[in-house]
Amino acid sequence: MRLNRSAARMLRDSGRHIFDPLPVIPVEEREVKVGEIIQPNRKGIVNPNTGFLYSIASNRYKLVRHEEAIQSIEGVIQDNTGGSIDRRISVIGTGSRVEATWKFRDMKYDDGTGHMMNPLIRVLSSYDLQWALTLEFGAWMLICSNGAVVGEIFASYKRRHTEALSFKDIAQTIQNGFNRFDDVERMMVDMGKREVSIDYRTKLIESLQLGKRETQTLYDTREVRSGLTLSEIDETGTQNAMVSLLTFYNLLTQFITHSVGSRLRQMELARKVRLFNFRNV
């Protein structure tokens, strides 16, 4: 794949290429043939410069170029905020996947323990059908060099690359995130005051449907703020082994971002945690 290095600052990062700005990665749709017979319900997603085949998709597939997705999001960001924004764009492998983040340095909120955190937008997209177009708007705090975070999601959007994918809906998701900013800060403070029992924690963990090894890894995860693990909390001998909802939430978030390798599975587990009603404790 040919990339314009003069238009990009490229760094190595865990096998990824980091760009700012994102270079244009050539991609187009082509007909699919078996022998000389055209397959009417299939299309090939190809790099026209190299002939590299990203994927064979159904005829319902909607090609969304990486730069198109990123530019549409930046347009909404510019309409809603000013100040310092850190942008990071990772192009993975042959250009088949892209991950982009925008961190708002001048916007901060209290996570419930007196620590201030910055809102952040994260976007995933791919040409190889492995990633749907996925957006999360939230606030995270980096807790170690391999990307583990704790934080909260304000708003999210996920659609496969079909006609149902809508940039208008993506813009509304980002707008909803900005609108929820103050509400989330109040929620996090409230979570720091609430306590949850071992029974509550067990039911939430069961809802994640983890394997035996993953479950043990979760129980051995040490929450960065309190220094506690679930195993230690459960063995305290106190009545119902209570712990704050915020500590439990942060511990779950650490496990998901630190120990689960797939980004899409991380997002799916985070969604399950959010769906489990934290308010009914």
Q: Report the share of the chain in percent with pLDDT over 70.
A: 80
Nearest to 200 by CA among 233, 240, 148, 165: 240
* pLDDT for residue 121 is more than 80: yes
CB of 23 closer than 8 Å to CB of 4: yes
pLDDT (tens digit, 9 = 90+) per residue, 42-84?
Answer: 999 999 999 999 999 998 999 999 998 888 888 888 777 767 7
Query: CA 103 to CA 111: how far, in whole Å?
Result: 16
pLDDT value, residue 144:
44
pLDDT value, residue 240:
56
Report residue 208 as tokens: 């994640």
Query: CA 217 to CA 135: how far, in whole Å?
Result: 27
pLDDT value, residue 9:
31
pLDDT value, residue 43:
93
Query: CA 48 to CA 104: how far, in whole Å?
Result: 36
pLDDT tier, 90 (very low <50, low <70, confident <90, very high otherwise): confident
Greater confidence (86 vs 220) lies with 220
pLDDT (tens digit, 9 = 90+) per residue, 190-231?
Answer: 777 888 888 888 899 999 999 999 999 999 998 877 788 988
Greater confidence (37 vs 259) lies with 259
248-254: average pLDDT: 85
Q: pTM score, two decimals? A: 0.66
* pLDDT for residue 108 is more than 60: yes
CB of 119 closer than 8 Å to CB of 181: yes
| 105: Cβ contacts below 8 Å, ≥ 6 apart | 83, 84, 85, 86, 118
